[in-house]
Amino acid sequence: MSATLAFLMLGSALIASYFSVGQAYTPPGGWPPGQPYFTLWAVLNPDPFWGYYGGYHDMFYRLQAEFAKIGINLEIKIQGDMYDNWYLMWEAPLGGRPPGKPPGHWDVTAMEWWIHPHGFLWMDGIILSKVIPPYGGNIFPYLRRENDELYWKMQTSFDAEVRKRYSWAWQEYQMHNPPIINVYYPNIYHFRGKYIKGYDETVWWYDLSNMRINTTGLTLPSAVQDRLNAGTIIYGAAEAWWSYLVTFVDSYTEEQYANLVWGILYKSSLDPWPAEGVTPPPEDYTLKPWLASDFPQGIGWFTDTDGKQVYRTRVPLRQGVVWSDGYPFNATDVKYSFDLILDKYVLSTAWGDIAPIIKRAELVPGNPYAIDFILFEPYVDLPLILADTWGGGILPYHALKDISPTSLRGSPKNKIFSHAKTVPQIGPFMYDSESTPAGYSDITFVRNPKFFGYDLGWGPYGIEKVILKYVPDAETRLAEIQTHAIDFGEYPTAPVEVFEGLMGDPTLIVQACPYVSSNDIWLNFNNPQLSNRYVRLALAHAIPYDALFAEIFPGWGIVNPIPGKSWVLPWSVYHEPDALGGETVRLFNTELSTYTYDIAKAKQYLAMWNYSRVGKDYTKGPVGDADFDGTVDLDDLWQFLDKFGSSCGYPLPYPIDWWPLEWSDGIYPWPVESGASVAPGNDIDPDFNNDGTVSAADFTLWFNNWGREYPFPGAW
């Protein structure tokens, strides 16, 4: 096995060293016909495998040859540092990064997107038009009013059947006009020491109240046994850390220890908790009150000071809870924390997830153990949104109130461990020590004796110390779990046969289970080609899904992958409130077809883009379909009339008049052409005959093609 892993590592390193310098690619036999239409830059991190920080290298090497078949040159750039890709994608200016060659530019990448099986936390912050960088996570940027409307109706419809219909319609819209190309949903091997009990891979570190150590019947090295007897567990963290306050979580490791030391109103959990080694059904994943004492209680609609209708909901808070310094927890802490989150200039990582839903938090006069949230509308996933430890946790007002909110992210309390550990904490553990270099070594936590959960009978049980050990290399994490140098870890990647060979080890639990994420190719709409729907659909059909599933993914430990659709998980369910009937429905659209590998179809899609350009044979393009939505309808007429009499190159960007300027501080964040605000991903072609001018002849072509659906019979 060691020899096999060494060979794989060497092969990956050699391939990466070749492609990282971005040599021009020429397919065997040359480009058909002639030169490629255009070049896309795939910008990847140096980790060759799948995952949040995975680079998906072998997949992109394979796609390079496939995209060449339809006339697209894919150049591959592997960043020199794991986090270069992170900064490039997420710390972008307003409107997202420009397209093209790195550094500072990107066209496509790949990333896992983790989703709860019982709700859509972290969807709002990446898909709604309101949440573009640097405050939100819509890095594409995907700006579609239809998308926003379908998503919002799905999230504000409490009736099970109505919510299901909107969910299914949203997925269909997303696949016809994709911001991503979801390649697959994974089944992976969870892998840990058999003595770690009461842990579920999907619940993860959100709720450790069932975790305990039990080495009964196991033969372990004496040093490991002594460590476990002392109540110390070690987790192999794949990612570094840079912040210590929950408001600024930027990595999985930071989110992990946010669940150890900080507080949240609700926790993702399981009910009932399964027997060891049993994969629970999706409907058993749920939420439980944590710092809240019960679930939100709707108060009702009222007219706000700005004249708009808003909805008040009240969250009762747990009494008798204290911070680690003994100071009482109450509603002031909650209001302070949400004031931070909802001030976009504070740069909380939760802003994009929470600001579209919650307008503000208010204290309840005379009641320090309740908090009111003023919502734009009643929201189905509100408890899950309030369970967001990716920046959405609670901080102690009494300890941080003297620090300016907008300077908190860069303050020593957030950036320097010795200062951060002095901030009172509220979770089951507290900051203890950190090795050097800070953020890239080990961080240790000790039991918080004042944790309120112990009085409620919650665990973790018998665990006195938790060490998060920075182990960025996947093969090293796998090897250290086998020797129990660590007890479990993030992304222990290895070929499927390696995991299967370890199933006989009596000291390990090796279990194949669904991993609740989509694994997607992400697309930069600032690229004038990728902003076109037909180009994105061409790429979606140039991906050899079955070959990837059979030839590449098993080497990453992916077993029986499920073909991707939208972000919605095959396991996503919705439990209707009992007052409405209590029906449970599947939110995943089972009737929607997946993308298929079909080079002929991909070429036809790309031809629709190609023949829309000036001077091309217009009869082969989407005649009459000004907005590229696939149907000739009235929307196309309005865009034709708006541009009537003007010169028209390709693509012609179109203003998004419905996009409020207050979303970007009153400044339109995209280029201005001829006095009109324009935005990426909103390109149109009202010059249907491709003569360079929008004229009466184009109206005739629109009229003659009324009701036609593009791009061709049998298209997706």
CA atoms within 13 A of residue 588's CA, in its CB half-sphere: 23
Q: What is the pLDDT of residue 606?
A: 92
Superfamily of domain 189-261+273-279+410-513: Periplasmic binding protein-like II (3.40.190.10)
pLDDT digits (tens, 9 = 90+) for 518-546: 999 999 998 989 988 999 999 999 999 99
pLDDT digits (tens, 9 = 90+) for 465-512: 999 999 999 899 999 999 999 999 988 789 999 999 999 999 999 989
Dihedral of the alpha carbons of 344, 348, 352, 358, in degrees to the nearest 10: -70
pLDDT tier for residue 154 given thresholds of 50, 70 and 90: very high
Q: How far apart are CA 84 and CA 523, in angstroms?
A: 18
Q: Which of 9-23, 159-173, 320-334, 601-615 has the lowest mean pLDDT?
A: 9-23
Return the SS3 of 140: coil
Q: What is the pLDDT of residue 681?
A: 79
**92 vs 200 pLDDT, higher one:** 200
Q: Give the bridge partners for 574, in sequence order.
A: 585
Q: What is the pLDDT of residue 171?
A: 96
**639 vs 450 pLDDT, higher one:** 450
Contacts of 216 (CB under 8 A, 6+ apart): none
Give mean pLDDT, residues 345-356. Answer: 96
Give mean pLDDT, residues 105-134. Answer: 93
Return the SS3 of 521: strand
Q: Give the bridge partners for 563, in sequence order.
A: 184
The pLDDT of residue 133 is above 90: no
**715 vs 411 pLDDT, higher one:** 411
Cβ atoms within 10 A of the Cβ of 148, count? Answer: 17
Q: Provide the residue ranges of all domains of the chain, joining segments of one domain with +.
A: 2-186+515-586, 189-261+273-279+410-513, 297-398, 599-704
214, 195 Cβ separation under 8 angstroms: yes
The pLDDT of residue 421 is above 50: yes
The pLDDT of residue 302 is above 60: yes
Q: What is the pLDDT of residue 492?
A: 77
**DSSP character for 279?**
P
**CATH 3.90.76.10 is held by the domain 297-398:** yes
Contacts of 648 (CB under 8 A, 6+ apart): 614, 685, 686, 687, 692, 693, 694
Dihedral of the alpha carbons of 162, 167, 172, 178, in degrees to the nearest 10: 150
Q: Which of 25-34, 270-279, 344-353, 382-391 has the lowest mean pLDDT?
A: 25-34
Smallest CA-to-CA distance from 147 within 127, 162, 123, 130 is with: 127
Give mean pLDDT, residues 47-53. Answer: 89
Q: What is the pTM of this model?
A: 0.93
How high is the mean pLDDT of the chain?
A: 91
Q: Which of 396-410, 440-454, 597-611 has the lowest mean pLDDT?
A: 597-611
Q: In the chain, count H helices and then E strands.
A: 21, 27
Q: How far is CA 692 from the centre of its chain?
A: 41
Q: What is the pLDDT of residue 680?
A: 79
pLDDT digits (tens, 9 = 90+) for 642-688: 889 988 766 676 778 888 888 888 887 776 655 556 777 778 889 99
